[in-house]
């Protein structure tokens, strides 16, 4: 097995294990020990630092992956590529930091309701942004070196274990909240230093600048690609971070904490979609290379069926058992139940529309993916501005649902218009009807004295009825074929 396969397998295992840890931390552990405004503060700090770092990087993390092959020469220290990769973004960081300090009154005014809570950590956010920037650049460098497993382990596993430890230390009374926030920033920053140590360990920490770096590829070419990558990357960051920032600004940090917790509960729905997308990306690239549109059309429909049947099952499993999930937290977080349902619907629509985004990004018209991502980011911001004032944090959930729905309708239409590919057949409404009938049956189960017992009864009923109807109706031929194979029937 080559290095790429080994690293890919390790990354897959690490990413899913880390996803489970992240869900425990953000959806269960932190809401149990921290008040909603305290969770909101940590989320706002992390979101600000992420946007701060991406603006500073000017797309150079993507530049590092795209252009490193031209510089690769270990004996020559890769022609000074690492100092070049770090140097320009650090100059950008100095510029953004100047704007960040000049904008302090405006930013704190936006969070006027909680300025006393956010203010003491304003300067620490700059420190967190610096380490976030350095981590992303070193991670890109390691990807070019085909050493990705260790950085994934740091980000996905070790960081989350450390955050869990800090959270438990606060919950058990060993840390004050001020100490908790500082340790939260420290552990988020420490993985950058560990990554630097790893680069030194493998003999790839080449920090001496070289003039040769300016001659391998024109700096203007790097900057032009970086600008394109910045637009694409910042769109993704806005989509994932802006709602919590705007809820914190336009409502308060308590609402941001409730919203963030609901957001992470809903992320469990994305697990099957991510698994399928990991397989879909290289397959679609091969189909485009071979110009095999019929096989692509069949793959498009089959993945949409799988996403629909798995997504509906998980959405119902999460939504019908919210009483149990919220019983593990402080009572104030239960206000996010409606938000969870709205976000589940948005994520489900995102999954049901299949792999339209991957088809676009692997197609000859891949540049349109930037327009779709930018459109989603703009729609998210505008809808938040429109809906948060009258509806509060629920307005942010509606904004996410409407933005995801509109962009996926646009992507699906684009793929159909450009390539005559569409993912739907009669089985999709059949699966949705089965889901509705199953949801009604599980919902009619009366709550008992224990949320845990209610959850178990509803989950068993949901699984039996849902799986039975899916198999009886052959709504998903792939599932029926698998059952026949396992039971030895033809």
Per-residue model confidence as pLDDT tens digits over 252-283: 999 999 999 999 888 888 877 777 776 777 77
Q: Quick one: pLDDT band at residue 3, thresholds 50, 70, 90? A: very low
Q: Are 319 and 440 in contact (CB under 8 A)?
A: no
Of 109-118, 146-155, 395-404, 476-485, highest mean pLDDT: 395-404
Q: For position 15, what pLDDT does the model report?
A: 67
Q: Give the pLDDT score at 145.
A: 78
Query: What 8-state DSSP symbol labels residue 447?
Result: P
Is 245 within 8 Å of 48 (Cβ atoms)? yes
Rounded (10°) CA dihedral 259, 262, 264, 270: -120
Instruction: State both tokens at 284.
Output: 């679609």
Return the structure tokens found at 345.
């619907």
Per-residue model confidence (pLDDT) at position 486:
46
CA-to-CA dists, residue 297 to 291, 304, 372, angstroms = 12, 11, 21
Report percent pLDDT > 90 for the chain. Answer: 35
413 has pLDDT over 60: yes
**92 burial type by CB count under 10 A (0-12 exposed, 13-18 middle, 19+ buried):** buried
CB 43 within 8 Å of CB 257:
yes
- pLDDT mean across residues, the chain: 84
Q: How confident is the model at residue 481 (pLDDT cuts 50, 70, 90)?
A: low
Q: What is the DSSP string of 168-225?
A: HHHHTTSS-HHHHHHHHHHHHHHHHHHHHHHHHHTT-------TTHHHHS-HHHHHHH
**C-beta of residue 339 within 8 angstroms of C-beta of residue 262:** yes
DSSP 449: S
CA 304 to chain centre: 20
263 CB contacts (<8 Å, ≥6 apart)? 243, 244, 339, 343
Does the pLDDT at position 6 exceed 90?
A: no
> Mean pLDDT, to the nearest integer, of 416-441?
90
Q: Give mean pLDDT, residues 116-140.
A: 91
Quick one: average pLDDT of 353-382? Answer: 83
Q: Count how many residues are written for the chain.
A: 490
Strands (E), 420-486: none
- Structure confidence by residue, pLDDT tens digits, 30-50: 998 999 999 999 999 998 998
Q: Which of 323, 363, 319, 367 is nearest to 343 (CA)?
A: 319
**pLDDT (0 to 100) of residue 479:** 64
């Amino acid at each position: 097995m080559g290095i790429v396969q080994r690293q890919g397998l390790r990354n897959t295992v690490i990413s899913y294990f880390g996803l489970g840890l992240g869900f425990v931390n953000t959806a269960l552990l932190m809401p149990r020990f921290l008040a909603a405004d305290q969770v909101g503060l940590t989320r706002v700090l992390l979101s600000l630092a992420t946007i701060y770092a991406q603006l500073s990087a000017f797309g150079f993390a993507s530049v590092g992956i795209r252009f490193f092959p031209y510089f690769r020469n270990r004996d020559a220290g890769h022609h000074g590529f690492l100092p070049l990769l770090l140097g320009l973004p650090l100059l950008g960081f100095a510029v953004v930091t100047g704007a960040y300090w000049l904008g302090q009154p405006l930013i704190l005014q936006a969070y006027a309701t909680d300025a006393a809570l956010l203010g003491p950590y304003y300067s620490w956010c700059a420190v967190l942004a610096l380490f976030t920037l350095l981590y992303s650049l070193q991670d890109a460098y390691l990807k070019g070196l085909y050493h990705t497993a260790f950085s994934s382990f740091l980000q996905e596993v070790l960081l989350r274990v450390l955050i869990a430890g800090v959270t438990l230390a606060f919950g058990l009374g060993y840390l004050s909240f001020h100490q908790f926030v500082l340790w939260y920033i420290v552990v988020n920053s420490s993985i950058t230093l560990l990554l630097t140590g790893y680069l030194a360990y493998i003999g790839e920490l080449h920090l001496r600048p070289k003039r040769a770096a300016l001659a391998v590829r024109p700096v203007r070419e790097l900057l032009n690609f970086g600008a394109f990558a910045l637009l694409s990357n910042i769109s993704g960051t806005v989509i994932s971070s802006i709602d919590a920032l705007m809820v914190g600004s336009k409502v308060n940090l308590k609402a941001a904490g409730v919203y963030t917790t609901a957001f992470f509960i809903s992320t469990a729905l994305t697990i099957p979609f991510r698994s399928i997308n990991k397989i879909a990306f290289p397959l679609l690239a091969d189909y485009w290379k071979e110009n095999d549109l019929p096989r692509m059309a069949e793959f498009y429909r089959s993945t949409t069926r799988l996403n629909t049947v798995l997504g509906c099952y998980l959405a119902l499993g999460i939504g019908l058992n919210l009483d149990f999930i919220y019983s593990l937290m402080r009572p104030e977080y239960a206000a996010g139940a409606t938000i969870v349902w709205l976000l589940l619907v948005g994520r489900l629509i995102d999954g049901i529309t299949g792999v339209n985004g991957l088809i676009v990004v692997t197609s000859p018209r891949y540049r349109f993916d930037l327009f779709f991502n930018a459109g989603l980011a703009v729609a998210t911001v505008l809808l938040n501005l429109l809906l948060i004032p009258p509806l509060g944090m629920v307005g942010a959930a509606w904004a996410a649902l409407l933005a995801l729905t509109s962009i996926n309708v646009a992507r699906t239409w684009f793929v159909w218009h450009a390539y005559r590919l569409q993912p739907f057949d009669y089985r999709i409404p059949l699966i949705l009807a089965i889901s509705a009938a199953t949801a009604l049956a599980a919902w009619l189960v009366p709550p008992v004295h224990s949320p845990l017992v209610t959850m178990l009864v509803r989950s068993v009923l949901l699984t039996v009825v849902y799986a039975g109807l899916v198999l009886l109706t052959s709504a998903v031929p792939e599932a029926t074929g698998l059952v026949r194979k396992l039971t030895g029937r033809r």
